[in-house]
Chains A and B, each alone.
Chain A
Amino acid sequence: MERALTSGRTGLPAALLLLLLAAPSIQAEEAPSAEGLWQGVIFYKRAELEVDMTVELARTAKGEWAGTIDIPSQKLEYHPLESVQVNGRDASFVLSRFSQHAKATIVSPFQGKLSEDGKTIQGEFIEGGKNRMPFLLERKGPAGSERARPPAPPVQALSASGEELKAAFNRDAGKTRLVLLLSPT
């Protein structure tokens, strides 16, 4: 009887051992999570017109995916994303915003793929559901991390005559130019 008990008990450590041995491989195969704070850009035209954005993806208490987006150039902050879906390494969400110009809500899906190491999400931003542009997001931290604000653009002091403005205006003579004379307050 004793032997039988002993023999029976020897099975438990073996099973635990198997589980412990299996655990690292289970961890290694676990898909990286899209949950987190991401920063990146939409490449309208690489190195020339790139729009900064911050995206936060997280699960709600109900286990559903949700997210927000910041696009400073469009004055979007903590703008809620719609239809956030994560299936394996595929992550997609939709940005809906009202366009003053179009006087309509522009619905723009993001369709991305999480990298194998979970450090980036790359994919396509489909502006208005039509124009496809690549985007890249890099993981900045867990969901809820503090969001970095883009640095303020530099301000050049002009001489009284404004010669520096004139020089810049003529240097860019090949471009269409918009001159704004404004009060900062």
Chain B
Amino acid sequence: MLDEIADDRLRTYVVWGPMLGGETEADARTATVNLPDRRALHFWTGAHGVAEAFRAPLGLGTELAWDTFLVYPAGVRWGETAPVPVYYMHVGKPLPAERHFNGEKLAEQVRDALNRKSSP
């Protein structure tokens, strides 16, 4: 998906974590080859803090936000709490079915976000 968006104004953060429970940092290092994009920063966390931080912006209740894809236009900042995305997709979450992950749709939304004017 990322390779079809040739725009250096995009930054991607990939947070690899223990969604299933047994994942390791070594697994994350291996998985990075699936996202070799130069604009991507890869992180590993052995905890659920980040997945907890994003469940409120997604309205996930008690469900952790693993397997989610969140889009933010330029200008959005992370303050006291994680910001609400302008668009998101998910895999297997109690969220609308039309937001089930689809790479092409997500790419469209990323392009839309790139074309937006910066939020204040």
Contacts and interface: CB of A to CB of B under 8 A. Distances in A.
Interface of A: 44-45, 48-51, 72-74, 99-101, 150, 152-162, 164-166, 168-170, 172-185
A161 B52 CA distance: 9
A184 B16 contact: yes
Interface string B53-83: 1100000000001111111111111100010
B25 A157 contact: yes
Nearest to A71: B3
Contacts of A178: 10-13, 69-72, 110
A134 B71 CA distance: 31
Contacts of B118: 174
Nearest to A169: B78
A181 B28 contact: no
B96 interface: no
A169 B50 contact: no
B8 A48 contact: yes
Interface in B22-52: 22-25, 27-33, 35-45, 47, 49-51
B36 A165 contact: no
A101 to B, nearest CB: 5
B36 A153 contact: yes
B14 A173 contact: no
A101 B27 contact: no
